[in-house]
Chains A and B, each alone.
Chain A
Amino acid sequence: MSNIRLIARLDIKGPNLIKGIHLEGLRIIGLPNEYALKYYLQGADELIYMDCVASLYGRNKLSDIIMAAAKDIFIPMTVGGGIRSVDDATAALRVGADKIAVNTAAVANPKLISDIAQRFGNQCMVLSIEAKQVGKDRWEVYTDNGREHTGLDVIEWAKYGVSMGAGEILLTSVDNEGTRKGYDIPLVKAVSAAVDVPLIASGGMGRPEDLLAVVDADADGIAMADILHYNRVVISDIRTLAENEGLSVRYYEKT
C-alpha cells in the first residue's frame, strides 16, 4: 500500500470557496486559491476542486481558478463538478487538472466513464459518488450535490463504474459531510472491499484521530475540508499523528 494521502477538498461556488453541511447550507469561506496555496505549503498531498453548483446551472467557472492555481501549486489536482463530456474533461486537463471527477453526468450516461478513461487513461477518471444511507449497510447514490436520488446502490454502482474504467473513487458521505463526526466507516469499508482501485474517503473529518478508523477501513486517501478551512488543525498535525500511530505518510519537510 502507498502512503495514505492527505487531501484538501475545496468546494467552489462561483469565485468562492464554500462549505456546507450535508452538502447544503453553503457558507462562503474565502478565495479558493488563498486556501489552496496555504494547504500546498502546509504539505497537502493533493487538492480536490469541486464546483458545487456547476451541475445545477450547467456551467463550469472553475477553469480560471484552476489555471491560476497551476502557477504556484505543484501537487496533483482533481477537478469535478459539471463535467458532462469528454470535451469538458479535455478543457479541465488543459488548464492544469490531473484527474477528472464525474458524478451526475456519469449516472446519466455511464459511457462517459469509459470515454474519459479510454482517452486519458483510467488513472485520470475519478468516479465521484455521493452516498446516503438508506438501511443497514445499504447506501444510495445521490447526484447534484446530494440533492437528487438515483435509486442506484452505492456498492453496485462503484463496481460498475470501475468495470467501465474508473481508476479511483471519491466517496462522499452526504450523511456525515460537514458534521465533524468522523467518516462513515461501514460505507468506506464496504466500497473499498468491493473494488480494486484506490478510494478517497470524504465527509465528516472532525479531528485528526478520525484518520485512524478510515485508514483501518482501507481508504487510500482522506479528503478534508471543514477541519482545515476553519483552522481547527493544520495538515502537519494530521501528518504527525499518522507518523506517531505508525501509518505511512509522505515525508514532508517544511520549507
Chain B
Amino acid sequence: MKKPEVIVIDYGVGNLLSVQRGLEKCGAKVIVTCNPKIILDGNRVVMPGVGAFSNAMKALKDLGLIVVLNELAKRKTPLLGICLGMQLLLDESEEFGMTKGLGLIPGRVIPVPNQTNTGKKQKIPHIGWSSLQNSHSKGWGNTLLQNNKPGDDAYFVHSFMAVPSDSNNLIAECNYGGIKIAAMIGKDQITGCQFHPEKSGEVGLEILRNFCVN
C-alpha cells in the first residue's frame, strides 16, 4: 500500500521534528516545506506552531501562505492545526494587542484566565496532561477523536485559548481549574488541536493515525 503523504508547513516556528516523527510513526510519508505550490497540492496538511500569534501570522504572510491556506479550505483538503497552529485558524487573537487570524473557523483567541472559577491563583502557562471531554453534540464519530474516548489525557502547553463562536465547531474541551478550554475544534475538513498530539503518547498517535488515513 502506498504511504499516505502529509505536508508539514515549515514557517520557522516550533518543533517540527516531533510532528514529523509522530506522523511517520503513524505510517505517513512526511514532507516538511514552506513552498506554497507543494503545500497547495498536498492531500493532507499539518500546521504546527509554538510562539507568538502575530509573529506566526507575519511569517505565513511573508511566505505567501495565507492565500494557500484559504485555498486549501476551499478545496476541502484535510488541514490539522496544532497548538498555535490551531489558534491561527480563528478570526483574531488578543495576544499582544489584536491580531487578525486566518478566519477559517469563526471565533477568537483570548488569554487563559489566571484565576480558577473559585478565584484561586491559577498557574499560567497551562502545562501538563488534561483529559479530553466530549463537547460535541454529535459525539466524536467522524472527527479525529473517533478512536479515542472521553477521559483520554493529552499534553497541553499554552497561555492563550481558542473560543469558537459556533459551538458546533467545538469537538472536545478540557478543564483547567474549572475553566473550560477548547481542546479540539473543527469545521469541514479543518481540525485544530490545542494540545500536542505528537507529545501525547498513544492517545495522540491515535489522532494522527486518523488524520493520515481519513
> Which residues of A are in contact with B by a Cβ distance under 8 Å?
1-3, 5, 40, 43, 45, 67, 70-72, 74-76, 93-99, 118-124, 167-168, 196-198, 220-221, 250-253, 255
Contact = CB atoms under 8 A, between A and B. Distances in A.
Contact of B124 (A3, A93, A197): A197
Interface in B9-38: 13-18, 21-22, 25
Interface in B174-214: 176-177, 196, 198-202, 204-205
21 contacts: A5-B127, A5-B128, A43-B201, A67-B17, A70-B18, A70-B21, A74-B21, A74-B198, A74-B199, A74-B200, A74-B205, A75-B200, A76-B157, A76-B196, A94-B16, A94-B17, A120-B14, A124-B50, A196-B114, A198-B123, A220-B127
A220 B128 contact: yes
A95 B15 CA distance: 8
Contacts of B126: 2
Interface of B: 13-18, 21-22, 25, 50-52, 84, 114, 121-131, 151-153, 155-159, 176-177, 196, 198-202, 204-205
- Best-surrounded residue of A72, A74, A76, A198 (most CB of chain B within 10 A): A74
B155 A198 contact: no
A96 to B, nearest CB: 5
Given A71-B21, A74-B205, A121-B52, A97 B199 contact: no
Nearest to B174: A2
Contacts of A1: 122-123, 177
A221 B123 CA distance: 12
B6 to A, nearest CB: 16
A74 B153 contact: no
B199 A250 contact: no
A98 B51 CA distance: 12
A95 B20 CA distance: 11
A119 B18 CA distance: 19
Contacts of A40: 201
List the 10 closest A-B pairs by CB distance, nearest first: A2-B128, A250-B129, A250-B153, A123-B125, A96-B17, A123-B157, A121-B51, A198-B127, A3-B129, A76-B199
Contacts of B128: 2-3, 5, 45, 198, 220-221
Nearest to B84: A121
Contacts of B21: 70-71, 74, 96
Contacts of A2: 126-130, 156, 176
A124 B84 CA distance: 13
A37 B100 CA distance: 41
Contacts of A70: 17-18, 21
